[in-house]
Structure 1
Amino acid sequence: MGGFFIYLLMKQLPINSVSFLYLEQSFRKWLFILGYATTTTDTLPVHLREFFHYLEQRHITEILLVENRHVHGFISYLENRASDKTGAGLSTSSINKMITAVNAFIKYLNSTGRHFLDISPVRPAGDIKIPSILTQVEIQLLYDASFETGRIDKAIGQRDRAMLAVLYGCGLRKMEATSLNITDIDLHKALLLVRKGKGNKQWYVPIARKALEDIRVYLQEGRGWFFDQHDTGHWYNQRYGHAFKRKIQTDDEAFFVNGKGQQMKNFYQRLHLLRDKAGIQQQFSPHSLRHSIATHLLQGGMDIEEIAKFLGHSSLLSTQIYMHIQTEHNGELAT
């Protein structure tokens, strides 16, 4: 009950800054398009109100005025602040929830280019993990690096670019990309069918022009090379001294195939290779590319409803205030 009581009080905290009110709503939408649960998208912005209230009490009403010392000062304030209910100090759980909200908000600011705070606040137990989000420049570096990975055979680079087109350009989850079949892609209509989405849902994803071209080239040129490479070698029976021909079962319908002509599942290895060749320092996963395209579309001014449909989300936030974040990076997405 204590935590819920504090939650209700924070929800009623007055925020006067138009900028902070806007950021609270924007932060909520960002969490939503990244696919977090309703409880997370509802509670984190409310816990963030405590931070905004703290800033306003110190006459800071614009996010551009916030510095590292203000964030650290807020954490010290929480550790010494009395509970409105008991008069005693805040519980560790309550403090951790507010620090978690600030951590996530800093990630939002840095990822969307609103403001950059180069700090690493204390990570409390239960802190939510937000995958790394790449910039559009870094996405282009990955794309450029795919031409280096194709030196053994151009088909490898073609598959890497198709992988970027699906994971980033179409925003698919790793398992959705793994399950993709060649019949799920309609090159003429520029549509991709997600058959095995989260919650067993199905939906169509529009394919952008550049991504469509990379997918087409891989399908028509590169994919067949992997079937030609698969091993049909021999195994030896020691007891009888005979060598037997071994035929490896291929996955003829799979869109992504490995060197054995079987369904490709290890996207991490390919992305790590691209990352190293691109000279990108931060670690990231296939899901990071999904979060990256969602953030980039948001930066580009796309309505949150459209982003939600694009990503296959089944529900929307109750609020219908759309955010339009201006960014330094304009132009067509790399894939």
Structure 2
Amino acid sequence: MKDYLKEYLITLRVERNLSPKTCDAYKRDLNDYLDYVKKEKILKISQMDIRNYIRNLNNQGLAPSSISRRFSSIRSYHKFLTSEKLMVENPTLIISSPKSPKKLPVVISEHEISEIIKCIDDESHFGKRDKAIIEMLYSCGLRVSEICELELSNLFLDDDLIRVFGKGMKERLLPIGKRAKVYLNNYLIHVRPNFNKRGQSSSVFLSRNGKALTRAMINKILNRWSSLSGISKSISPHTLRHSFATHLLEGGADLRFVQALLGHSDITTTQIYTHLDKEHLRQVYKTHHPRS
């Protein structure tokens, strides 16, 4: 059955337009599953075999979310095999997906974001760059991969817009706020030319060597400034994206509007933020209503 894995991965990349990173995750999940099948000398996979594999993952101490993702990969692969008539029956059909507990995303307040921005030394080249990055992550709700891959040709600052390519290379246009635009222009005019002395990079955000910043570098930048600002919470670029969505909903934005800005293909992904918004409404009620 492993013989068909390469063909399946090509299908994911070409027909479903999944990113290389997502395809790699499928490949890792399925290689582990198929190694288990080989090790157990399973010739015809049954529902019991798959249940045993899931039990095995549990015994290894894998997180419920990881087990759920692996099962999703396995189910998708078996669906492909049966649709291509490479397998007679899909043994995953009547197996329920393992439940992964929903974790509410960590969110920071507008004040905390302002404190991070305020502590950045924007007299230095790195400070100017970092201020633009952090403000854009928050005010545009970008994924860290989207800001890493942002290119000069994706900036339409005269129209107050930027273009990003999200999961599956889905394109979306996003408004850029006044403050983010000021910080970005400051970086583009005064810093980027110094980092891009050879003029070879088209990426917006560069290291001092003129190379595009990586996810790890941006995480490090955010960790540094959030720590210096005195915020004790563990903050990642995704925390700023979560905060962007939550603050929009708290301000009265429609869920569909937030979905479009975040680039979610399914609104159920966006609905997790309504839990946070309900908590905000609860707090407002308790604080301000005389009968609370």
Query: TM > 0.5 between the two?
Result: yes
For residue 199 of structure 1, report the CA deviation from its aligned partner: 2.1
1:256 alignment partner in structure 2: 205
Distance (Å, rounded) in 2 between the aligned partners of 1:204 and 1:225: 28
1:198 matches 2:167: yes
Aligned-pair identity in percent equals 31
Asked if the contact 1:131–1:284 (Cα under 8 Å) also holds between the matched residues in 2, the reply is: no
Asked if the contact 2:192–2:206 (Cα under 8 Å) also holds between the matched residues in 1, the reply is: yes
For residue 175 of structure 1, report the CA deviation from its aligned partner: 0.7
Distance (Å, rounded) in 2 between the aligned partners of 1:250 and 1:272: 29
When Rg is computed on C-alpha atoms for both structures, the one with the higher figure is 1
For residue 126 of structure 1, report the CA deviation from its aligned partner: 4.3
Distance (Å, rounded) in 1 between the aligned partners of 2:248 and 2:191: 29
1:179 matches 2:149: yes
When residues 130 and 285 of structure 1 are mapped into structure 2, their CA distance, relative to the original with a 3 A threshold, is farther
SS at match of 1:284: coil
Where structure 2 has 5 or more consecutive residues not aligned to the other structure, the ranges are 1-64, 66-98, 285-292
1:272 alignment partner in structure 2: 223
Higher relative contact order (CA 8 A, sep 6+): 1
Distance (Å, rounded) in 2 between the aligned partners of 1:188 and 1:273: 32
Distance (Å, rounded) in 2 between the aligned partners of 1:128 and 1:316: 15
Distance (Å, rounded) in 1 between the aligned partners of 2:162 and 2:258: 16
Distance (Å, rounded) in 1 between the aligned partners of 2:235 and 2:104: 11
SS at match of 1:134: coil
2:137 alignment partner in structure 1: 167
Distance (Å, rounded) in 2 between the aligned partners of 1:134 and 1:253: 32
Residues 253-310 of structure 1, C-alpha deviation per residue, up to 9 Å, x if partnerless?
0101001000111101101110111001011111111001101111111111111111
1:144 matches 2:113: no
TM-score normalised to the size of structure 2?
Answer: 0.55
For residue 179 of structure 1, report the CA deviation from its aligned partner: 0.5
For residue 128 of structure 1, report the CA deviation from its aligned partner: 3.9
**Aligned partner of 2:108 among 134, 138, 146:** 134
SS at match of 2:146: helix
| Matched ranges for 1:307-318 at <5 A | 307-316=258-267
Distance (Å, rounded) in 2 between the aligned partners of 1:175 and 1:186: 19
| Matched ranges for 1:45-60 at <5 A | none
Distance (Å, rounded) in 1 between the aligned partners of 2:221 and 2:105: 18
Distance (Å, rounded) in 1 between the aligned partners of 2:104 and 2:185: 32
TM-score normalised to the size of structure 1?
Answer: 0.49
For residue 165 of structure 1, report the CA deviation from its aligned partner: 2.5
Distance (Å, rounded) in 1 between the aligned partners of 2:199 and 2:179: 29
Distance (Å, rounded) in 1 between the aligned partners of 2:200 and 2:116: 27
Q: Give the letter aligned to residue 254 of structure 2.
A: D
Asked if the contact 1:250–1:260 (Cα under 8 Å) also holds between the matched residues in 2, the reply is: no
Distance (Å, rounded) in 2 between the aligned partners of 1:131 and 1:283: 12
1:48 alignment partner in structure 2: none
| Matched ranges for 1:55-66 at <5 A | none
Distance (Å, rounded) in 2 between the aligned partners of 1:163 and 1:169: 10
**Aligned partner of 1:301 among 252, 276, 285:** 252
Q: Give the letter aligned to residue 253 of structure 1.
A: S
1:107 alignment partner in structure 2: none
Distance (Å, rounded) in 1 between the aligned partners of 2:200 and 2:232: 35
Where structure 1 has 5 or more consecutive residues not aligned to the other structure, the ranges are 1-99, 101-124, 229-248, 329-335
Q: Which has the higher helix share?
A: 2
Asked if the contact 1:179–1:254 (Cα under 8 Å) also holds between the matched residues in 2, the reply is: yes
For residue 209 of structure 1, report the CA deviation from its aligned partner: 1.2
Q: Give the letter aligned to residue 117 of structure 2.
A: Y
Asked if the contact 2:117–2:135 (Cα under 8 Å) also holds between the matched residues in 1, the reply is: no
**Aligned partner of 2:182 among 213, 228, 231:** 213
1:292 matches 2:261: no
Distance (Å, rounded) in 2 between the aligned partners of 1:201 and 1:299: 27
Distance (Å, rounded) in 2 between the aligned partners of 1:284 and 1:275: 7
**Aligned partner of 2:158 among 188, 192, 196:** 188
Q: Kindly report the root-mean-square deviation, in angstroms, between the aligned alpha carbons of the 2 structures.
A: 2.8
SS at match of 1:188: helix
Asked if the contact 1:192–1:207 (Cα under 8 Å) also holds between the matched residues in 2, the reply is: yes
